[in-house]
Amino acid sequence: MAVPQASRAEVLVDTRPLWRILAERTYRPTVLTAGLVLYLVVRAMPTPEGLSPAGQKALAIFVLCLVYWVTSVLPLMVTSLLAMVLLPTTGVLPAKETYALFGNEAVFFILGAFILAAALIKCGLSSRIAIAILRRFGHTPRSLLLSLFLMNAFMSFFMSEHAVAAMTFPITLEIARVLRLPRDRSNYGRALFLAMAWGTQIGGIATLLGGGRAPLAIGMLRETTGQSYSFAQWTLAAWPIVAVLLVAGWQVIVRFFPIDIESVRDADVVIAEKMLRMGRPSAREKSIGLVMLATLIAWIVGGEEFGLANIALAGVIVIFLLRLLTWPDLERYVNWGVLLMYGGAIALGSALTRSGASGWIASVTVSRWAHSPLQVLAFISAVGILLTEAMSHSAVVALLMPVALGIAQQFGIDPRIMAPAVALPAGLAFTLPVGTPGNAIAYSSGYLRLRDMLVPGFVLVAIAWLAFNLTAVYYWPLIGLGVGR
């Protein structure tokens, strides 16, 4: 009897080599087991000279989280929660102190900034700004490319760079489509998506709003030393690097990918149509824009006096008091899991510092290779840039900040230096698609091949590292951040 077509089960044959199938299926349990084994080994080994028993326990937790953060075998926020469970259960910190660290001001500043950025996206104001910039300045191939690059950078001053990349990607894709750019051989197509990705990353380090790296570093600094940065102080420290990278990034893009089209008239028509469909700005858009502007001014003028988190949350409250948005409007735009990641990272960093483990790590690693504050800074920034090409920016900060603070104590460096020394390089991933969501989104367009990102990205990374160190040596002392010799 014939078997009905609908009842036949499809049989899929995996033709990959056996070793690859086994490696894929055993990767996760192998990494989970390796992390656990390393944790137990560090716990059980004789306590090294200069390290306290509490420091040894904190170091074991740090090693476990390092393995899981680097491999992403668990979500970043779950690894942070694991750290928060282990700290009190192993006796490194009392439970009350551990969970109190989760309420760090940096976590609530990030929450407020996320919600304000979500309000801009939800009401459509961010898209309106992007379209308006492109319509005003993008009338030739060169000016359109430059407008896209600078627009992404400018918007990342005030919103998460990841949100900016996600928002401007459809616009960039539409431009490429109407210009009929072939995916396999269009220099202009490659340049468009590289400009989108690099613009968001360069702009993302300019202020405390471009991502969670800077607030996380400042939160760990405050929890350890009581010192901090105002909104204006951070921007003042970062702007020379941003300025250099905007110029350098533009030059790298146009030199590696010379413009190979003569007109963008079709794109002009599409952008004008999008602007026409949006109509006039609504009262809600104007009101949310005013609230955001007032919040930004308050951060700059009164950030030190009133606290960055207080101002951010006040802006959020005003939005809801005026009924500009409802809570369900914002829920899908805010990455709640990231807050868990930051809280756990701050708690682990504080435990490493209080127990003396961070100082011990510094004494057996960097202190052996670097013999001056300048060498220390060059080393930390290089490690930060290399790590951020392969793992989350925030995880890089969580891993490096405790060690950097321990190094600062050993070398007599102002610990305030270490927050930008770790957080700024951790945002400069230009080479690999996995380095940042912006790179991944651009790569997903199909216009960029891996080799299109590797060589230009390496050139910009080298420029970024040099720009950072020259800024730290010659500019930071002028604004009260002396590095020493």
Over 332-353, what HEC string results? CCCCHHHHHHHHHHHHHHHHHH
Q: Nearest 5°: CA angle at 292, between 287 and 293? A: 95
- Looking at per-residue pLDDT, the higher value among 456 and 306 belongs to 456
Task: Tell me what the pLDDT averaged over the chain comes to.
Answer: 85
Q: Which residues contact 275 (CB under 8 A, 6 or more apart)?
A: 131, 132, 135
CA Rg, the chain, in Å? 24
Cα–Cα separations (whole angstroms), residue 361 to 58, 131, 342, 349, 353: 11, 49, 22, 13, 10
Q: Report d(CA 195, CA 200) in Å as an integer.
A: 8
Q: What is the pTM of this model?
A: 0.79
Report pLDDT digits (tens) over 318-358: 999 998 888 887 777 777 777 787 788 888 888 888 888 87
pLDDT at residue number 330: 77
pLDDT in tens, 49-68: 888 899 999 999 988 988 88
pLDDT of residue 252: 95
pLDDT at 237: 93
Percent of the chain surpassing pLDDT 90: 28
3-state secondary structure of 3: coil
Measured between alpha carbons, how far is 197 from 436 in angstroms, rounded to an integer?
Answer: 9
Confidence class for position 26, pLDDT limits 50, 70, 90: confident
The confidence score (pLDDT) of residue 421 equals 92
Q: What is the pLDDT of residue 338?
A: 72
466 or 441, greater pLDDT: 466
Long-range pairs for 467-470 at CB < 8 Å and ≥24 separation?
A: 467/240, 467/241, 467/244, 467/245, 467/248, 468/241, 468/381, 468/424, 468/425, 468/428, 469/374, 469/377, 469/378, 469/381
Contact predicate 41/67, CB 8 Å: no
pLDDT value of residue 465:
95
Mean pLDDT for the stretch of residues 436-456:
84
pLDDT score for 173: 84
Q: Which tokens is 289 given?
A: 């824009």
pLDDT tens by residue, 1-24: 555 555 455 565 656 666 666 666
Alpha carbon distance 387, 100 (integer Å): 29
Instruction: At 424, give phi and psi (nearest 5°).
Output: -70, -50
Q: Give pLDDT, residue 23.
A: 66
- By C-alpha distance, which of 160, 137, 284 is closest to 215? 160
The upper half-sphere exposure of residue 439, i.e. CA atoms within 13 Å in the direction of its Cβ, equals: 25
Nearest to 360 by CA among 53, 118, 130, 77: 53
Sign of the torsion formed by the C-alpha atoms of 288, 289, 294 and 295: positive
Per-residue confidence at 249, pLDDT binned at 50, 70, 90?
Answer: very high
- Tokens found for residue 377: 């800074």
Q: Once rounded to an integer, what is the mean pLDDT over residues 377-382? A: 88
Q: How far apart are the first and last CA of the chain?
A: 88
| Predicted confidence band of residue 434 (pLDDT cuts 50, 70, 90) | low
pLDDT band at 254 (very low <50, low <70, confident <90, very high): very high
Count of C-beta atoms within a 10 Å radius of residue 111: 20
Window from 11-15, 112-116, 164-168 with minimum mean pLDDT: 11-15
pLDDT at residue 14, as a whole number: 58
Q: What is the pLDDT of residue 4?
A: 53
Residue 195 has pLDDT above 70, yes or no: yes
Average pLDDT over residues 217-246: 91
Q: How many CB atoms lie within 10 A of CB 95?
A: 12
More confident residue, 358 or 116: 116
Angstrom distances, CA of residue 205 to CA of 24, 159, 237, 394, 478: 36, 11, 10, 13, 20
Q: What is the mean pLDDT of residues 422-444?
A: 83
DSSP 440-485: HHHHTTSS--HHHHHHHHHHHHHHHHHHHHHIIIIIGGGGT-----
Q: According to DSSP H, which parts of 157-280 are helical?
A: 161-178, 187-204, 213-225, 231-256, 265-278
User: pLDDT value at position 90?
Assistant: 92
Q: What is the 8-class DSSP label of residue 12?
A: -
| pLDDT tens by residue, 381-403 | 988 888 787 667 777 888 888 88
104-108, 205-209, 413-417 — which is least confidently predicted?
104-108
Tokens 């390089």 belong to residue: 425
